[in-house]
Homo-oligomer: A and B are copies of this chain.
């Protein structure tokens, strides 16, 4: 009915999906890339960097904050954002674990 049935899946399956979903939009990937490129906090220039409206960027930042991938701290009139390295490491481990799987037998398709 348009609503994901999260209850029928394992915690691991849901966790992978939630994290993947978070980076499942080019704007959010671009935000994260920019935060890595700058290698420090970014104070508000994301709207200029990425060609989307301020409200839209704010919405994407909210999504990234929701899963904990970024942190924001008020710095005067502006807000500074940066990657939450601990959460990022956690996601990396989860995704690596999932992605490093491979098929040993080539007896199919």
Contact = CB atoms under 8 A, between A and B. Distances in A.
B108 A41 contact: yes
A47 interface: no
Given A20-B22, A91-B99, 12 more contacts: A8-B52, A13-B26, A16-B29, A21-B24, A21-B25, A39-B105, A40-B108, A41-B108, A72-B109, A80-B109, A84-B109, A96-B99
B52 A5 contact: yes
Contacts of A83: 103
B36 A9 contact: no
B20 A24 contact: yes
Given A73-B109, A108-B82, A101 B5 contact: no
